Structures are given as structure tokens and as C-alpha cells.
Amino acid sequence: MSNTMFNASDYKGSGPENYEKYFVPTIAAPLADDLVDIASLRHGERVLDVACGTGVVARLAAAQVGNEGSVAGLDVNPGMLSVARSATPSNATIDWYETSVEAMPLPDGAFDVILCQMGLQFVPNKIQALKEIRRLLDPGGRVVLNFPGPTPRLFAVLGDVLAQHIDPKCTGFVNVVFSMHDGEELRGLMMDAGFEDIEAHQTERTLRLPEPEDFLWQYIHSTPLAALVGKANEEQRAALTDDVCARWQEFVIDGGMNLDIRMTTVRGYQPQ
């Protein structure tokens, strides 16, 4: 049995609050740094972060474009946007929009750069979303998107154990997270949406995670998995914890875990 039994009171925050507290520092923020670096933002540019979550990419972009630029964040989840607003530094002005990526109520050519971190895979109509992104770009403007995958072994183990002890539906969420990573497929989608000068490249990243039991419950309570796992009884949760922690021992180094993950980044341009 695990040494520290799961206690729901340890995660009193909402899903978005837990996402900002746990997921952002360990996974989203390091990858957002990479995305913004690749985007090569310039002072004064107008930037939109779509599927922005709690706004880590938008906050980094605001620091890059300065007061002469502008930044907006857009997400369909009002809870994520509420946390994004509260996490915005006092010296940054970011506009937030609650809407889907497939139908954004914003004018044509309103942005020089549009960014999307690990979000397009969750959008039902991906071509329509990309066409909307292209519509919002000024001629010559660029979009930069990133995607994780294929599924790292650490998360494959998690999906298997969740399916065994909690609900097979849990594996579906894990699979969607890592469902878009083929460079040729992504280039094809971008071409179909009307972008040009499309580039896709892959990088290997190693992210530092907490020890197994902490990361297990932090991740669950930062994602939609919390709803499914919340229906489990104490015995199921204990079995989940024991099994995951045992199988994650191969990733443990100096008390935490190393997550080796491949990221595919795609860049395209609105035709002049």
C-alpha cells in the first residue's frame, strides 16, 4: 500500500485552479517558453493565444511584445479564463475571450501572431479552427502551434492503470492529449486551411516532475480525469495509487521523475 493515502482535501481548488498550481509549473510553462521562443515575437506585435487555458503563453507573450504590442487569450472554458485573469500580472494588459476556436467573434486581420499550445487536438472541427485562425491573421502573419506525442511511456502506463482500476474512459482522455503529432498530417491540415510556407519540426524534451504519488494526484485533479476518478471508492483509489507508483519507479531519479516527451511544432503564414 502507498505510504500516503490520497486525501481529497489536499485538492480543494477547482480544476482550473489546480491546473495553474500543478500542471503549469511542471509541464505547461517549460513548453510555453519553447513555443514563444520559436514564435520569435517582436516588440509591438499583436498576439492571440487560442485555447489559452490559464494563460501561461499569453503572459509570456505580453512580456515579449511590450506595451506597444497587444495580447489576447481565448478559451471555451470560463473557469480557465477566470484563473487566467487572476494570474495576469498588474503590469500586463491582456484581453480574454470566452469562445470556441471554430467561431471567434473577432475581426479579420486583427493579429500578427496566433499561438496555440497543446490545444488543437481537443477541437472537434480542426480545419474550421485553422481557417478561423488564418482569417484573424494580418497578411503575412504567422501561426505557431505545438503538440505532444507519441504517448510517452509514463502516460501510457497511467492510461492502462486508470482503465484497469477506475474506468476505461480515462484512457480516452490520455489518448486525445497525444493524438496529433505526425508532421506530415499537420502540414496537410495547414495546407487545407490555406496557410503557406509551412514548417514542422520535432524536439525531444525532458521535463522534471514530482515524485510518483504527488504527480499522479496533481495531474488527475488538473484535468478532466478528476470527474471519473472522483466516482471511485477508497479501495479503487488505493489500488490505482499503488499500481501507478510501482510501475512509475523506472522514471524516478533523485526523488522526482523525468518525463521524456517529443514535441512537434508547426508554423505557417497567412498569404500576403
Q: Say which residue the cell 487560442 belongs to.
A: 50
Grid coordinates standing for 110? 486583427
Domain interval for residue 160: 8-269
Instruction: Find out whether the peptide bond into 30 is cis, omega within 30 degrees of 0.
Output: no
DSSP secondary structure string for all residues of 43-88: TT-EEEEES-TTSHHHHHHHHHHTTTSEEEEEES-HHHHHHHHHHS
The pLDDT value given to residue 231: 94
What is this structure's pTM? 0.94
Q: Is residue 155 included in any domain, yes or no? A: yes
- What's the Cα-to-Cα distance from 175 to each of 9, 66, 149, 156, 178, rounded to whole Å? 28, 38, 10, 9, 6
Distance of CA 166 to the CA centre of its chain: 24
Residue 185's CATH number: 3.40.50.150
Task: Give pLDDT, residue 7.
Answer: 52
| Per-residue pLDDT tens digits of the chain, which is 272 residues long | 344 444 555 667 899 999 999 999 999 999 999 999 999 999 999 999 999 999 999 999 999 999 999 999 999 999 999 999 999 999 999 999 999 999 999 999 999 999 999 999 999 999 999 999 999 999 999 999 999 999 999 999 999 999 999 999 999 999 999 999 999 999 999 999 999 999 999 999 999 999 999 999 999 999 999 999 999 999 999 999 999 999 999 999 999 999 999 999 999 999 99
Domain total in the chain: 1
Classify residue 252: in a domain, yes or no: yes
Q: Cα 249–21–56 angle (5° rounding)?
A: 110
State residue 13's pLDDT score: 84
Is the residue at 222 inside a domain? yes
In a domain, 2, yes or no: no
1 within domain boundaries: no
Task: Quote the longest CA-to-CA distance of the chain.
Answer: 62
Closest CA to 142 of 51, 41, 43, 61: 41
Angle between helical axes of 183-192 and 126-136 (0-180°, round to 10): 60
- Rounded CA gap, 143 and 151, in Å? 24
